[in-house]
Amino acid sequence: MLDGYFLGHSMEGVQTILPGGGAYHAIIGTLEQVGLAALIAVPIGLLTAIYLVEYGRGRLAKAVTFFVDVMTGIPSIVAGLFILSFWIIILGFSYSGFAGAMALAILMMPIVVRSTEEMLKLVPDELREASLALGVPKWRTILKVVLPTAIGGITTGVMLAVARIAGESAPIVLLVFGAAGINNNPFEGAQSSLPYYIYEQWQLGNEASFNRAWAAALVLIAFVMILNLVARGIARWKAPKSGR
């Protein structure tokens, strides 16, 4: 079932009880939704972690830390319901890949904050003090010394956060609404994704749809595995080299 045809075709015009069709539209949807979620979550997560490690003092820092801890334990369905009530019901926007991406960003953000925070704490204070002693402003020290030193661990944390949200199904079922055809515009109209496609095909309950669900699950597993391998490769590439 998993072949070039499956990867290159959608379910447009395909009878679900018959073999055929593919997951191309779902793959496109997953890539766009996860990419948009990363574009939203990574900058906010990085800036939050930098604030907590480099500037965070007093009540505001404690409040931000508490809020991040709460977000870490939020079930994915709650994030989906929040975007559903605010973005679709209150503001009146339609179901779209972007709505799903916002829910995924909520789930991704605390992972990015925590992983980045830990990596920044591992940067020796001597590097910061040496830069500040030379008269370099603190913001420039963070930009030119701290972040480049921790970039390997930060990138690994981001890649693992992306892998974490790639398989989320609950927010996607609520917000993306599914589509049998290809929709390359995540900002308008219903769109599919691999988790939704697996759920949709399994729900149909016939042998052909079961085969498509298993094939899509294998594609999703391969996608997550590739992200993890990339994260391990970056971590090994950026690991400190022992001088001899």
Domain extent, residue 183, equals 4-238
Number of domains into which the chain is organized: 1
Q: What is the DSSP letter of 12?
A: T
Domain assignment present for residue 244? The answer is: no
- The CATH number of whichever domain residue 18 belongs to comes to 1.10.3720.10
Q: Which residues of the chain are modeled with pLDDT < 70?
A: 1, 238-244
| Closest to 99 in 3D by CA, of 163, 171, 158 | 171
Domain assignment present for residue 44? The answer is: yes
* Stated pTM of the model: 0.88
Distance, in Å, from the CA atom of 210 to the CA atom of 107, rounded to the nearest integer, reads 29
3-state secondary structure 138-184: HHHHHHHHHHHHHHHHHHHHHHHHHHHHHCCCHHHHHHCECCCCCCC
Domain assignment present for residue 46? The answer is: yes
Say what the pLDDT of residue 99 is: 92
Say what the pLDDT of residue 114 is: 92
Q: What is the DSSP letter of 191?
A: B
Say what the pLDDT of residue 243 is: 47
